[in-house]
Structures are given as structure tokens and as C-alpha cells.
Amino acid sequence: MRIPTWRLALTGGAIAILAVAGLGLAAASTAPATPAADNATAEGTTSPDATAGDRPGAAGLRDGLRGGRLLRAGKPLVHAEITVTDRDGKLVHVQLDHGTVQSIGNGSVTIAEAGGGVVTVSTDGNTNVFIGRKGGTIGDVKVGAEVFVRSRVDGGTTLAKRILVIPAKT
């Protein structure tokens, strides 16, 4: 049976988008943190990284080769569910979400996605949080922040493994 060309193109495009989104998350989360001397804060800021546009190195997250371009490529991502194999060869179901934090607390984060979708994922003490390139805690995630969330789906439970908060542009 011959597979239609449009179906091959659509599948290839979807795979490319998922690969770029995964690379963007990996690059942004594994990039070295900026030196402490660059972490200037201003009084009265509303987010943990509201002064990012004033810091040297912050532009690299948005405009540099490693973080910025990959994150821009991942911006169209709204929601994806993929299945991969772990080191032991077992199937692992992974969910990627991109949107705005609608609410946070009681061990969960609710994300409002483009198109009106809403996703709630659980968090625990092992959930890794990054504010841009800096490590953070779940307490640093604020309502209204733009986030990428990588979760593991197991038995109907969606547990956030990594949350990447995109610093607001000033």
C-alpha cells in the first residue's frame, strides 16, 4: 500500500517540531547559569527575573545561538504527547505543554494553552524548575508566567519533571 505524500509530509513536520522543542528544552535547561555578578535585581519587581533585559547574558537566552533560537523554534508548540524508550527499553509516555500559568499550589500547576486548552500537571519535590537559565524552585513559578513543562504520564497521572519559566521581556 502506498502512503500519500501529504501524510508523509505532515508526519515529518510533526516529528521536526517535536525534535526542535525537545532540543530547545534541553538546551535551555542544561545551559550554564550566568555568573552571580550578573544577577542584579531591582526593588519592586513583579517576577523573579523581571530585570533580565538589563543584564549582560540575558539577551543570549532570547537571541543567542544556543538558547534563544531554539526557544523561538519551540514557541509554536502548544501540547504534545510522545512515547519514548528509557534506558531499560521500557516505554515512557512524555507530555510537553507550553502556555501561561493559570494557577499553582497544592502540588499542581494549571497551564492555559493557546486555543483555550487547560492542562493541570502534578508537581513534587523532584520537579526541576528553571527560570531562564537559572535554577529555581516551584515557589519561583508565578501566575501569568510563560512556561514549558515536560511531564511523565504514568497510569493516568501527569507528573511534571521539568518546568522552564521564560523570563518576561522588559
pLDDT band at 102 (very low <50, low <70, confident <90, very high): very high
Compute CA distances 85 → 19, 36, 90, 94, whole Å.
15, 38, 5, 10
Of 118, 121, 14, 133, give the one whose Cα is nearest residue 71: 133
Q: What is the pLDDT of residues 84-96, one digit of tens each?
A: 998 999 999 999 9
Higher-pLDDT residue of 149 and 73 is 149
pTM over 0.85? The answer is no
Which range of 37-41, 57-61, 135-139 scores highest in mean pLDDT? It is 135-139
Q: What is the pLDDT of residues 103-133, one digit of tens each?
A: 999 999 999 998 889 999 999 999 999 998 8
Give residue 34's pLDDT.
44
Look up residue 127 and give its three cell numbers.
520537579
Q: What is the pLDDT of residues 24-42, one digit of tens each?
A: 666 555 555 443 333 333 3
Label residues 69-92 b or e (16+ Cβ within 10 Å = b): ebbebbeebebbeeeeeeeeeeee
Mean pLDDT of 70-89: 79
Q: What share of the chain is helix, strand, coil (3-state, %, to 5)?
A: 30, 35, 35
The domain limits of the chain are 5-166
pLDDT band at 78 (very low <50, low <70, confident <90, very high): confident
Specify the CATH superfamily of domain 5-166: Copper binding periplasmic protein CusF (2.40.50.320)
State how far the Cα of 101 lies from the Cα of 104, in Å rounded to an integer: 7
Q: Is the pLDDT of residue 49 over 70?
A: no
State how far the Cα of 170 lies from the Cα of 165, in Å rounded to an integer: 15
Q: What is the DSSP letter of 68?
A: H
